[in-house]
């Protein structure tokens, strides 16, 4: 049988077969990518998408801070945007950031230019591509408040400019189809005051220190807050604080965080999450929605997509 790599178009970027993905995620779990592709630039990405066989699935990942990759890995091609997509430019009160730019770097760049409105990004450990996809937010602000437009490549390799309205951003959600790849985003900031911006960013750092586990393997908030409620309160009321399956544990400090305490597998973490959902359903009747994106195949499963 022809190997997948031999069916893919020539690119200027890099292909790697059977590439470990666990090191590319915060949980540090999960199986490999059949092929990991790092595009050389946007044109290379467009050529790849236009030239790849239509039956080859493509999955884009950011810096893996909201991902649980199952142990069987991901079939097809996993795209990871790197340095060529990490440029940040300031034009007047607008900030144009490549999809691979880290949120925290975008916040710092805006601060340097004395622009306000993007401070919240300093508390989110993801990339701009992931922030747009998830409509990431914290401390009362979210991407949709300042996003003007994104540039995104469709599965056939065609570029599009989409407005924030086109993206249908809502709480930790966008309508962007899962097989479109964001390559950059333009934000509207406002002229601010250095000291106020610096203080806002410091307040975010302090609040994180107090309320979130640090230097741990986690995917951040596991479940979206239900309408009018807080996921962590329901999880706490269901008696799940500190609950464990293997090395997967519900954080004692912030019980909407699941932790990999060492040797947890993706299946341990997912099973723990499902157990939390079951207990919350039983105690409060609320059906929690996974905020963490679970992708890939369970261990031992043959080829085929399994995403949630
Ligand atoms: C300690 C911790 C704290 C966190 N705190 C917050 C918080 O306060 N607020 C918050 O909103 N989130 C928070 N998160 C979750 C996470 O940081 C965000 O969801 C972030 O936006 C994910 O970005 P990423 O680059 O890591 O994306 P990934 O986790 O790699 O991917 C997430 C999703 O985005 C998609 N994606 C990634 N890049 C692209 C792209 N270029 N084009 C299209 N789709 C793309 C992926 O396919 C996937 O569906 C936290 C996570 C951790 C670990």
Per-residue pLDDT of the chain (308 residues; tens, 9 = 90+): 789 999 999 999 999 999 999 999 999 999 999 999 999 999 999 999 999 999 999 999 999 999 999 999 999 999 999 999 999 999 999 999 999 999 999 999 999 999 999 999 999 999 999 999 999 999 899 999 999 999 999 999 999 999 999 999 999 999 999 999 999 999 999 999 999 999 999 999 888 887 777 789 999 999 999 999 999 999 999 999 999 999 999 999 999 999 999 999 999 999 999 999 999 999 999 999 999 999 999 987 755 444 45
126 lines ligand 1 (CB under 6 A): yes
66 lines ligand 1 (CB under 6 A): yes
From ligand 1's centre to the CA of 6, what distance in Å?
Answer: 32
The SS3 call for residue 292 is coil
Residues of the chain with CATH 3.30.43.10: 4-83
Strands 190-191 and 137-138: unpaired
Question: Catalytic amino acids?
Answer: 172, 221, 291
- For atom 33 of ligand 1, the residue with the nearest CA is 130
Task: Check: CB of residue 110 under 8 Å from CB of residue 191.
Answer: no
From ligand 1's centre to the CA of 61, what distance in Å?
Answer: 9
Closest to 233 measured CA to CA, from 221, 243, 225, 244: 225
* pLDDT for the residue 302: 56
- For atom 19 of ligand 1, the residue with the nearest CA is 66
Query: Mutation test of ligand 1: which of 28, 29, 61 has the most ligand atoms closer than 8 Å to its C-beta?
Result: 61
Strands 67-69 and 293-295: parallel
Residues of the chain with CATH 3.90.78.10: 223-290
The SS3 call for residue 254 is coil
* pLDDT for the residue 304: 44
Instruction: Identify the CATH class of 4-83.
Output: alpha beta
| 85-196 carries CATH number 3.10.310.10 | no
Query: 281 phi and psi, to 5 degrees?
Result: -60, -45
- For atom 14 of ligand 1, the residue with the nearest CA is 220
**What is the spatial distance between Cα 121 and Cα 106, in angstroms, rounded to a whole number?**
7
From ligand 1's centre to the CA of 134, what distance in Å?
Answer: 6
**What is the spatial distance between Cα 35 and Cα 14, in angstroms, rounded to a whole number?**
10
Closest to 164 measured CA to CA, from 155, 154, 175: 175
Query: Mutation test of ligand 1: which of 84, 97, 102, 124 has the most ligand atoms closer than 8 Å to its C-beta?
Result: 124
**pTM higher than 0.85, yes or no?**
yes
**What is the spatial distance between Cα 298 and Cα 265, in angstroms, rounded to a whole number?**
10
For CA atoms 270, 276, 281, 284, give the dihedral sign.
negative
Q: Which fold has domain 223-290?
A: 3.90.78
Spacing of C-alpha 260 from chain mean position: 18
Residues of the chain with CATH 3.30.465.10: 85-196
Task: Check: CB of residue 115 under 8 Å from CB of residue 90.
Answer: yes
């Amino acid at each position: 049988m022809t190997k997948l790599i031999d069916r893919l178009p020539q690119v200027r970027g890099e292909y790697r077969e059977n590439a470990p993905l666990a090191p590319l995620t915060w949980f540090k779990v999960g199986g490999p990518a059949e092929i990991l592709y790092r595009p050389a630039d946007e044109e290379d990405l467009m050529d790849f998408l236009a030239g790849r066989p239509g039956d080859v699935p493509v999955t884009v990942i950011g810096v893996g801070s909201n991902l649980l990759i199952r142990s069987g890995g991901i079939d097809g091609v996993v795209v990871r945007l790197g340095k060529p997509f990490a440029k940040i430019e300031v034009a007047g009160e607008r900030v144009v950031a490549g999809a691979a730019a880290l949120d925290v770097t975008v916040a710092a760049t805006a601060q340097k230019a004395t622009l306000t409105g993007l401070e919240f990004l300093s508390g989110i450990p993801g990339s701009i591509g992931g922030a747009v996809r998830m409509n990431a937010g914290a401390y009362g602000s979210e991407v949709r408040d300042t996003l003007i437009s994104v540039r995104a490549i469709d599965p056939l390799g065609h570029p599009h400019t989409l407005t924030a309205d086109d993206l249908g951003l809502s709480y930790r959600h966008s309508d962007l189809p899962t097989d479109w790849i964001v390559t950059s985003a333009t934000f509207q900031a406002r002229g601010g005051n250095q000291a106020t911006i610096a203080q806002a960013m410091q307040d975010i750092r302090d609040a994180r220190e107090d309320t979130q586990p640090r230097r741990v393997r986690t995917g951040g908030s596991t479940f979206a807050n239900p309408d009018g409620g807080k996921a962590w309160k329901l999880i706490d009321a269901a008696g799940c604080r500190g609950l464990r399956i293997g090395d997967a544990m519900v954080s004692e400090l912030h019980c909407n965080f699941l932790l990999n305490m060492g040797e947890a597998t993706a299946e341990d973490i997912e099973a723990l999450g499902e157990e939390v959902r079951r207990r919350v359903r039983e105690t409060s009747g609320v059906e929690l929605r996974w905020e963490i994106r679970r992708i890939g195949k369970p261990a031992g499963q043959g080829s085929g997509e399994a995403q949630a």
